[in-house]
Amino acid sequence: MSLIDPTSVDHAILSRRSIRRFLPTPIPQATVEAILDVSARAPSGTNMQPWQAYAVAGAERDRLCAAVVEAFDAGSTEPTQEVPYYPDRFFEPYLGRRRTVGWALYSTLGIARGEDAKMQAQHRRNFLFFDAPVGLVFTIHRDLATGSWLDYGMFLQNVMTAARARGLDTCPQAAWARYHSVMRPVLGIPPEAVVVCGMALGYADPDAPENTLQTERVPARDFTTFQGFID
């Protein structure tokens, strides 16, 4: 039993994990809209509210997935992500953390080093929203500055936390951004918009091995310099 009050904000934050296999249980539009309405209470510099979202379900979700899976299978990644999410070259301590989570995920699936085809197959599942019934795609105006991307992160965390409050799970997905040129005509994303990321939304499959992954965090005392406290 959790020691944290299940109705608390801490519980919603701590119970969020990236879920990579969902049940087909549909989610009503009203639920998705309520999550996005709550999330839009995120702060943003001068209240600019830089977020734009596309929420797809049913046939529209399938249409988006089919288009991107086709591009993925054809080996097409051009043009790549417009605003890089990752550095060109990983370095420590980030490289080590990245490797740790990657291998931890693959080991839940019984994928060993060198099994590239199986890794590719797992990566491909991003473009099925990991079977989630609802897909979210988030965009931002390309002329906005770094501050708005910071605001965006707060909004996205709200989406994932508000989903938890409703018993729903998520997986934020940078993978989609590489396929923005395929997604644009399907979703009607205008040229001035940059795809920030996708997000799977639904009920977690409790029996899926990949959903057992528990990631670690560096404790606050290791990334914080505390100064001036007297207690």
Ligand X SMILES: Cc1cc2nc3c(=O)[nH]c(=O)nc-3n(C[C@H](O)[C@H](O)[C@H](O)COP(=O)(O)O)c2cc1C
Site residues, ligand X (CB under 6 A): 17-18, 20, 101, 126, 171-175, 197, 215
Smallest gap from residue 199 Cβ to ligand X (A): 8
In the bound complex, what is the minimum distance in angstroms from residue 113's beta carbon to ligand X?
A: 18
Q: Which is nearer to ligand X, 219 or 228 (CB)?
A: 219
By the 10 Å C-beta count (0-12 exposed, 13-18 middle, 19+ buried), 24 is classed as: exposed
Query: Closest CB to ligand X among 101 and 144?
Result: 101
- The least distance separating ligand X from the CB of residue 97, rounded to whole angstroms, comes to 9
Closer residue to ligand X (CB): 13 or 28: 13
Contact by Cβ (8 Å): 74, 66? no
Nearer to ligand X, 2 or 29 (CB): 2
- In the complex, minimum distance from the CB of residue 5 to ligand X, in angstroms, rounded to a whole number: 21
Q: Return the number of the residue (15 or 181) whose C-beta is nearest ligand X.
A: 15
Closest approach, Cβ 214 to ligand X, in A, equals: 8
Check if the beta carbon of residue 197 is closer than 8 Å to that of residue 155.
no
* Cβ closest to ligand X, residue 29 vs residue 85: 85
Q: CB of 86: closest distance to ligand X in angstroms? A: 10
Cβ 148 vs Cβ 83: under 8 Å: no
Task: State how far the Cα of 174 lies from the Cα of 197, in Å rounded to an integer.
Answer: 5
